[in-house]
Amino acid sequence: MNATDRRSTESANEAGVTATAAPDAGAPARGVNATREPSFLLARPEKRVLRAIARRLPRWLLPDDLTLLGIVAAIAICVAYGLSNNSDVWLWVASGLLVVHWLGDSLDGTLARVREIQRPRYGYYLDHLVDAGATAAIAIGLGLSPHMLLSVGMLLGVAYLVLSVNVYLESQALGRFSIGYGLIGPTEVRVILIALNTALALGLDPRVELFGVTVTALDLAGVALAAGMLLLLTARALRNLRELAQAEPAAARGPLFRRMERRPRASRRPRMS
């Protein structure tokens, strides 16, 4: 999942940094001037909390250590969901690990900025690479649990990754970095997962039979969420394409059929006998 704060330059208004074209090895790191748009529900209070935590962390702890913590937490979440086949206690473990993952995934960039040790291009590349892996691990874990079909878990993972790819493309093409779609961002998704884990651990797990397949409430919620994400993506992509088309108008279309110009026939000279 995308972190709430990225390792980016302050000039990018605390935005995720987009890779630049083949800079010299000795040149200073710089990113695309992409402005962060914190539109989702918990963005502002979360930012304050993360900065407060970052200022209190020991000096020996570095941003890469927090990134590693997020990686380990994502893998552990996948394992915990799988082990929930044996006991619902593992759902509580998964919820606790989601908090740990939030800390590792969201705090690394904040710590880098608070200490002024940003590595914009390195952080951008590593952060989004790790995000993709973490999203896949959590989606697979959900699918391996007894509360969601694997196909639904993979559908959720693919939908989330496509939304993330669109965010990265926007930062390049439009100069803005908005990781939230409406009021829902990565942190809100974690909160929703924790709430669902809690309900399932408490025994709230209604199931129905559809076409010979047992479908849980989490399956139905997952399909609805994936459909909602794809609808949001479609609307945002159409808006982006309209904006880009206005900035870069398309060439005029030529005629489908060219008119054939009639050439005058050359006059035939009479043959000389």
DSSP tally for the chain: helices H, then strands E: 7, 4
What pLDDT sits at residue 11?
A: 34
Secondary structure letter of residue 148 according to DSSP: S
Are 5 and 113 in contact by the 8 Å Cβ rule? The answer is yes
Are 17 and 9 in contact by the 8 Å Cβ rule? The answer is yes
Residues whose CB falls within 8 Å of the CB of residue 243, separated by 6 or more in sequence, listed in order? 174
pLDDT of 164 strictly over 70 = yes
- Can you tell me which residue has the tokens 């990225």? 6
**217-247 vs 186-201: helix crossing angle, rounded to 10:** 170
Give the mean pLDDT of 120-149.
Answer: 91
Residues whose CB falls within 8 Å of the CB of residue 196, separated by 6 or more in sequence, listed in order? 218, 221
Tokens (6 digits) for 236: 């945002």
CATH superfamily of 10-19+31-247: CDP-alcohol phosphotransferase transmembrane (TM) domain (1.20.120.1760)
What pLDDT sits at residue 210?
A: 77
- The candidate with the shortest Cα–Cα distance to 136, out of 157, 153, 156, is 157
What is the chain's mean pLDDT, rounded? Answer: 82
Higher pLDDT, 10 or 201: 201
pLDDT of 78 strictly over 90 = yes
Domain positions in the chain:
10-19+31-247
pTM of the model: 0.76
What pLDDT sits at residue 4?
A: 37
Higher pLDDT, 197 or 23: 197
Higher pLDDT, 129 or 35: 129
| Cα–Cα distance, 118 to 252 (Å, whole number) | 46
109-125 pLDDT, tens digit each: 899 999 999 898 898 88
For 89, 138, 235, 249, 252, the CA distances from 245, given in Å and listed in that order, are: 52, 37, 15, 5, 13
